[in-house]
């Protein structure tokens, strides 16, 4: 009996010695897989790489809780100035103006339900009526026309300083000058717009960093670059089993062409979806959360980005898609650079990545770091210098649906105090 007990003990000890080590104890290997790691050769600010890596390890293929399949964790990122430096939508508009690709509308007021009579008159005067409706405007040579289009898009005003948009809209679901971008390309096919985006992208990627160009009398960035850190992050997330999405307030065909440069396909690129009729883009867009078709009354903008993620990724239908969901129906990692991204980035359950462009609400939430998972990083190329004044979080950094402003509040209703800028580039 004694020898039998000894043999039993020896067998148990041997079994324990040969038992598989839990995935996390392997460090770089779990469940027989290589655990994807962010490159240590690419600089991140502070502990941001570690924060992102922690979420990758917690949720990815090396997690002891990994399930895969339809349960794969999700990461979602804004596009312009988050994955790439500078605005791909503006680059595409500039290219289109330089190559006479904007078609003359019958009436400029038809392009947006909020366009003011002053803007209608300014655009009509500058662009003229001699070109037949539906034919290309000569914006490469007509400086005045190019200028008015760029000023309305960029500043929501005419060249003379009059408001370009008026009326009522939900300021957490849309902004007229953003919605106006796909409306500018009405009359084109989706394939044509994609080709313009590709041409603009290739030109911008070839231009020297820091270079500028003149379109009309406007000076615009001439270059763009995919951030190396973000390319590495997307690549690592995908290796770790994450579904990675782009969620943009740009035109979907434009964003799709640019996002392909980091390996994101069209099915994983969500942006403003224009209604296409008879093969041509119209001034109408598809809504979210049961709102239907409109002229841009809701687009992927602030709460609209949350809605699109909930609806298109997690299958939440109807008005519920506008609401913050339970943890099982939320992204693990969210990344953005502006207030338009604040809702979905804040919904992330693992890491909230913010690139600092001095946008008040998202910077207030980032620096407040209520759950200890916010990661604020200077822009990787030409980062902004330190903002001298604190962000007015306790005063007016939050934009209400009616356009008024107020304090930024945490989920528990408490007000975030004003925040100093601490993650910035070298002083100019």
Say what the pLDDT of residue 276 is: 98
Say what the pLDDT of residue 12 is: 43
| Statement to judge: residues 81 and 93 lie in one domain | no
- Residue 412 gets the label, from left (phi > 0), alpha (psi -120 to 50) or beta, of alpha
Angle in degrees, CA 306, 307, 310, rounded to 5: 85
Rounded Cα gap, residues 30 and 88, in angstroms: 39
Q: Render pLDDT for 46-78 as a digit per residue (tens, 0 to 9).
A: 999 999 999 999 999 999 989 888 889 999 999
Check if the beta carbon of residue 254 is closer than 8 Å to that of residue 96: no
Assess if residue 28 is contained within a domain: no
| Statement to judge: residues 229 and 354 lie in one domain | yes
Assess if residue 38 is contained within a domain: no
Assess if residue 8 is contained within a domain: no
Assess if residue 104 is contained within a domain: yes
Q: Render pLDDT for 359-406 as a digit per residue (tens, 0 to 9).
A: 999 999 999 999 999 999 999 999 999 999 999 999 999 999 999 999
| Statement to judge: residues 247 and 302 lie in one domain | yes
Domain count for the chain: 2
Q: Render pLDDT for 99-109 as a digit per residue (tens, 0 to 9).
A: 999 999 999 99
Question: Given pLDDT bands bounded at 50, 70 and 90, which one contains residue 33?
Answer: low
Lookup: tokens for 389: 């004044």
Say what the pLDDT of residue 5 is: 41
Assess if residue 207 is contained within a domain: yes
Q: Render pLDDT for 84-97 as a digit per residue (tens, 0 to 9).
A: 999 999 999 999 99
Assess if residue 49 is contained within a domain: no
**Domain edge (last residue) among 221, 245, 271:** 221
| Statement to judge: residues 202 and 240 lie in one domain | no
| Statement to judge: residues 279 and 290 lie in one domain | yes
| Statement to judge: residues 349 and 306 lie in one domain | yes
Lookup: tokens for 79: 């596009």
What percent of the chain has pLDDT above 90?
Answer: 90
Say what the pLDDT of residue 69 is: 85
Least confident of 28-37, 201-210, 293-302: 28-37
**Is residue 28 scored above 90 in pLDDT?**
no
Residue length, the chain? 428
Nearest to 170 by CA among 307, 304, 32: 304
**Is residue 6 scored above 70 in pLDDT?**
no
Helix H or strand E segment including 335: strand 333-336
| Statement to judge: residues 244 and 303 lie in one domain | yes
| Statement to judge: residues 231 and 347 lie in one domain | yes
Beta strands in 349-419 (DSSP E): 351-356, 374-378, 398-399, 405-406
Beta strands in 128-227 (DSSP E): 212-215, 218-221, 225-226
Say what the pLDDT of residue 137 is: 98
Check if the beta carbon of residue 96 is closer than 8 Å to that of residue 88: no
Q: Which domain holds residue 107?
A: 88-221
Nearest to 351 by CA among 32, 150, 53, 43: 53
Angle in degrees, CA 128, 133, 135, rounded to 5: 90
Q: Render pLDDT for 311-362 as a digit per residue (tens, 0 to 9).
A: 999 999 999 999 999 999 999 999 999 999 999 999 999 999 999 999 999 9
Assess if residue 424 is contained within a domain: no
Is the Cα torsion angle 18, 58, 321, 70 positive or negative in sign?
A: negative
Assess if residue 211 is contained within a domain: yes
| Statement to judge: residues 205 and 302 lie in one domain | no
Lookup: tokens for 189: 């096919």
**Domain edge (last residue) among 221, 254, 284:** 221
**Is residue 25 scored above 70 in pLDDT?**
no
| Statement to judge: residues 211 and 237 lie in one domain | no
Give the CATH number for residue 401. 3.40.50.1000
**Whole-number mean pLDDT of the chain?**
93
Rounded Cα gap, residues 104 and 142, in angstroms: 13
Helix axes 190-206, 88-98, angle to 10 degrees: 100
| Statement to judge: residues 212 and 232 lie in one domain | no
Check if the beta carbon of residue 270 is closer than 8 Å to that of residue 300: yes
**Domain edge (last residue) among 167, 197, 221:** 221
Q: In 3-state terms, what secondary structure has residue 421? A: coil
| Statement to judge: residues 279 and 238 lie in one domain | yes
Least confident of 25-29, 159-163, 269-273, 349-353: 25-29
**Is residue 195 scored above 60 in pLDDT?**
yes
């Amino acid at each position: 009996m004694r020898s039998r007990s000894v043999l039993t003990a020896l067998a148990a000890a041997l079994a324990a010695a040969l038992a598989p080590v839990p995935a996390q104890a392997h460090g770089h290997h779990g469940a027989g897989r290589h655990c994807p790691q962010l490159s240590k050769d690419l600089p991140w600010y502070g502990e941001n790489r570690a924060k992102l890596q922690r979420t990758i390890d917690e949720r990815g293929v090396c997690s002891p809780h990994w399930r895969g399949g339809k349960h794969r964790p999700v990461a979602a990122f804004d596009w312009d100035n988050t994955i790439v430096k500078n605005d791909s939508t503006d680059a595409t508009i500039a290219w289109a103006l330089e190559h006479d690709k904007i078609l003359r509308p019958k009436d400029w007021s038809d392009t947006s339900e909020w366009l003011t009579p002053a803007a209608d008159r300014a655009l009509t005067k500058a662009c003229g009526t001699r070109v037949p409706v539906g034919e290309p405007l000569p914006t490469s040579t007509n400086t005045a026309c190019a200028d008015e289009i760029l000023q309305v898009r960029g500043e929501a005003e005419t060249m003379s300083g009059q408001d370009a948009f008026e009326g009522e809209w939900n300021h957490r679901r849309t902004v007229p000058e953003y919605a106006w971008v796909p409306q500018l390309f009405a009359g084109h096919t989706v394939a044509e717009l994609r080709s313009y985006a590709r041409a603009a992208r290739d030109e911008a990627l070839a231009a020297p960093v820091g270079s500028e160009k003149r379109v009309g009398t406007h000076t615009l960035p001439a270059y763009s670059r995919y951030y190396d850190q973000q390319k590495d992050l997307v690549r690592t997330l995908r290796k770790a089993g994450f579904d990675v999405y782009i969620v943009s307030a740009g035109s979907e065909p434009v964003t799709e062409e640019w996002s392909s440069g980091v390996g994101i396909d069209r099915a994983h690129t969500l942006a403003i979806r224009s209604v296409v009729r008879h093969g041509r883009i119209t001034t109408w867009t598809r809504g979210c959360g049961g709102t239907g078709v409109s002229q841009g009354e809701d687009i992927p903008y602030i709460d609209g980005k949350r809605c699109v993620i909930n609806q298109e990724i997690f299958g939440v239908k109807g008005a519920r898609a506008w609401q913050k969901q339970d943890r099982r129906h939320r992204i693990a990692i969210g990344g953005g650079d502006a207030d338009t991204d604040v809702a979905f980035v804040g919904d992330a359950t693992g890491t909230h990545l913010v690139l600092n462009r001095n946008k008040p609400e998202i910077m207030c939430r980032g620096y407040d770091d209520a759950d200890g998972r916010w990661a604020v990083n200077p822009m990787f190329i030409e980062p902004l210098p330190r903002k001298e004044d604190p962000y007015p979080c306790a005063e007016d950094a939050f934009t209400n649906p009616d356009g008024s402003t107020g304090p930024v509040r945490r989920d528990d209703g408490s007000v975030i105090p004003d925040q100093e800028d601490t993650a910035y580039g070298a002083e100019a």
